[in-house]
Chain A
Amino acid sequence: MTVGTHARRVRTHVTGAASTAVRPVLEASRRPARVLAAFPAGIYLEVRTELEPSVIAVVTGLATRLPNSVLLAGALPRVTMGDEAFVGDGTVEVGGLILRARRWWDPSPPLGAVDPAALPPSSALARRGRPGLDGNDAVELLATSCASEWLLGAVTAAEKLVGLGPGLTPSGDDVLAGLLVTLRHLGAATGCQKAVDLAGWLGAAVTFDARTRTTPISATLLHCAARGEACPEVLAVLRGLAGRRPLEAALRRLRGLGHTSGADLAQGIAIGLETVRALGGRK
């Protein structure tokens, strides 16, 4: 006997690639999830889990490969907000698709050793694009506190910034994400433990209650950033700062992200860069 009113849907098996950040959630036992938002190039799924990332982006090749994303080899299914989905046992099930990863990428690849003396000044980052929080006091406080190793100031500023601004990923979160990733990677690459420690403190402070302070998507991205996980556009700028690839082209691509997201991330990266330059000098 069958119960239920839904017509049985045809399930299509598809494959793709996934960030290793989502591997624990994908490989845990199957859990319900729901569609948070659906765009032409990406679907955001909120998974009922304590693990992070708790929001998974299912994207096509046209979308930014966020650190919490699964890249689909084919076309996205048609879904609407609130649709049910499942994640776990190695698959993402959404809109009639059963998606499995056939490739994994590392959203936090090491930068390798970098000579701190060779780092460019943060002015190299600040040429084009206007960040959403240009001239904001909390951003100023964040920058000066980080560079002067004033932890209380930095945490105070960071807490003000969480969830600040409009949109799916508020500007304040993007600035923090850019900063956290930069402190972690440039800190490790230049052997500046103080920067890495600062990333740890700040990361703990902003992720502690992020789920209640900002959008679920942005909260998940803050969790990723605290672990040093970022999209390829951010990682490319860090490689540019490390002198491993042309910086200008990488910056152009980063600034192309979202409405102000790219510029906001760049602002966070600039603060991180200044901090590493300042702290690296004081052993």
Chain B
Amino acid sequence: MTLLDGPPHVIAAGAGLLADALAEQAAAVTGVTWRPPLAGTAGDLARVLADPRRQAANDLAVRRLTSARPHLTGVRRASEVLRQAEPTFLHAGPPITWERASGPMRGALVGAMLFEGYAHDEEEAVARLAGGEVRLEPCHQHAAVGPMAGVVSPSMWLYEVRDLEHGGTAYCSLNEGLGKVLRYGAYGAEVLDRLRWMDTVLGPVLSAAIELAGPIDLRNMIAQALQMGDELHNRNRAATSLMLRELAPAIADAAPGSASEVLRFIAGNDHFFLNAGMAAAKVSTDAARDIPGSSMVVAMARNGTDFGVQVSGLGGRWFTGPAGVPDGLYLGAYGPEDANPDIGDSTITETSGLGGFAMAAAPAIVRFVGGEVADAVAATRSMYEITLAEHPAYQIPGLGFRGTPTGIDVTLVARTGLLPVVNTGIAGKVAGTGQVGAGLVSPPVEAFTAALRALAENAADPSDP
């Protein structure tokens, strides 16, 4: 219909008086619940929105993100993947120094020192780390992601996930299970023993099994898991079961001697899939990187001190703010005073339209993150306000198979004041404690306003000679 053919259905943003006048004429009106943008962003917003590249760039970015076809193609030792001349550990989140690192990050780094034999005891490990003897670099800088502390050392094994659509590759460490684990900053003997077993048994067995089974379609597996009640960040039970089903015969074929202990390990950890899912999310968001003019977020990550975001049109730059303390439920006698600020690369799931963004798919865990089913539905629905698209494959049955909200747009965050909903585990703030709970966390607003400022500075503004 052309505009002048009949009474228009009007979208009214602004004065309620004008929307009321339309309703009084029995005209169809959709009211916009408009609010002013985040304080101090009006000028930057106008510049970014005026950037003639933005719309096409964002269309391309979100198309690449949602069309990625992540496949699990292998499991490799980090030393083989990251050929570093000098001793290097990867870590979660934006860059961090030992001095600024939080308790769980320090604990995990100490654990990695002991595991690699770079130090004989905790004291020596701390001294060497403080002396800068090991390079610390973000996982994201190496096409990798790691949950919680996200520490990757050369003797750890990594999932290798390839995007068969665009050709990218991403990595993520193997999941150690729950309780006292390195990624939550624990480094006791049981932690180190498990890491050694993972290096000598789990890694090689999985590697051989995947070689036998052939690439595993993670896009398909994630899509199925969403329909089985996972949101792929705090609930991975369905996805883990699906993966176990896929891998079990190959594990039995590849390593009959250790198959039962490997299978029992996988079956005992509901989050076993998380790391593969994170690598899938990483390879998908990486496909959307470096598109000039795009205001879409391609990474959100925390190192336990800072929360950082990266934006497609702004290359590898990090925009950070202080990491918040999650709000959620605590294990045993732990409480909020024991919690470390938010940590981990697992927010890559939200960046790709899963996790908190898919909360409506996972009614089973809404109590765990402190709420009712209606809250979960509301959380997912609100995320459509700050995202560019609905994922064509990742759908939520409870919302009429609507695609998950995907592709966070920095300008929409600034305009609506809505921050991404992030589901997360909570690490103890004292090094060595491990996990103390799980819940929801709000990213710091400054990370997004700083990214917006940089987009504004980079904007090609045709009306500004």
Contacts and interface: CB of A to CB of B under 8 A. Distances in A.
B380 to A, nearest CB: 29
Interface in A1-48: 15-17
B26 A239 contact: no
A94 to B, nearest CB: 16
A245 interface: yes
Contact of A16 (B5, B6, B25): B25
Contacts of B23: 73
B24 A73 contact: yes
A105 B28 CA distance: 14
A61 B23 CA distance: 11
Instruction: Enumerate the 4 nearest inter-chain pairs by beta-carbon distance, A residue then B residue, closest first.
Output: A103-B25, A73-B26, A16-B26, A17-B26
A3 B370 CA distance: 63
Nearest to A103: B25
Contacts of A15: 24-26
A61 B6 contact: no
A101 to B, nearest CB: 9
Task: Name the residue in B2, B7, B25 with the highest tally of chain A Cβ atoms < 10 Å from its Cβ.
Answer: B25
Contact of A105 (B1, B2, B7, B24): B7
B28 A61 contact: yes
B27 interface: yes
A103 B26 contact: yes
Interface string A117-148: 00000000000000000000000000000000
15 contacts: A15-B24, A15-B26, A16-B24, A17-B26, A61-B28, A72-B26, A73-B25, A73-B26, A102-B24, A103-B25, A105-B7, A232-B6, A239-B5, A245-B1, A245-B5
Interface bracket on A: 10 to 19
Contacts of B25: 15-17, 73, 102-103
Interface string A186-216: 0000000000000000000000000000000
A175 interface: no
Interface string A66-101: 000001110000000000000000000000000000
A103 B24 CA distance: 9
Nearest to B29: A73
A63 B254 CA distance: 68
Contacts of B5: 239, 244-245
Interface string A221-254: 0000000000010000001000011000000000
Interface in B16-34: 23-28
B26 A61 contact: yes
Interface of A: 15-17, 61, 71-73, 102-103, 105, 232, 239, 244-245
Given A15-B25, A102-B25, A245-B2, 10 more contacts: A15-B26, A16-B26, A73-B24, A102-B24, A102-B26, A103-B7, A103-B25, A105-B7, A232-B6, A245-B1
A236 B79 CA distance: 70
A17 B27 CA distance: 8
B390 to A, nearest CB: 25
A186 B1 CA distance: 20
Contacts of A244: 5
Nearest to A15: B24
A71 B1 CA distance: 21
Contacts of A71: 26
A196 to B, nearest CB: 23
Nearest to B25: A103
Nearest to A239: B5
A183 B268 CA distance: 78
A204 B26 CA distance: 34
A100 to B, nearest CB: 9
Nearest to A60: B26
B375 to A, nearest CB: 31
A239 B5 CA distance: 10
B394 to A, nearest CB: 32
B296 to A, nearest CB: 35
A138 B5 CA distance: 35
B24 to A, nearest CB: 4
A242 B119 CA distance: 86
Contacts of B28: 61
Nearest to A14: B24
A105 B25 CA distance: 11
A61 B26 CA distance: 8
Contacts of B2: 245
A232 B28 CA distance: 15
A72 B28 CA distance: 12
A72 B26 CA distance: 6
A279 to B, nearest CB: 28
Contacts of A16: 24-26
A168 B6 CA distance: 27
A72 B6 CA distance: 17
A244 B27 CA distance: 23
Contacts of B27: 17, 103
Contacts of A105: 7
Interface string B1-15: 110011100000000
A210 B331 CA distance: 81
A73 B2 CA distance: 24
A30 B313 CA distance: 67
A105 B6 CA distance: 9
Contacts of A73: 23-26
A167 B192 CA distance: 84
A102 B2 CA distance: 23
Contacts of B6: 232
B16 to A, nearest CB: 15
B452 to A, nearest CB: 40
Nearest to B6: A232
A43 to B, nearest CB: 15
Contacts of A232: 6
A142 B25 CA distance: 41
A237 B393 CA distance: 38
Nearest to A72: B26
A77 to B, nearest CB: 15
Interface in B233-263: none
A276 B220 CA distance: 58
A16 B5 CA distance: 20
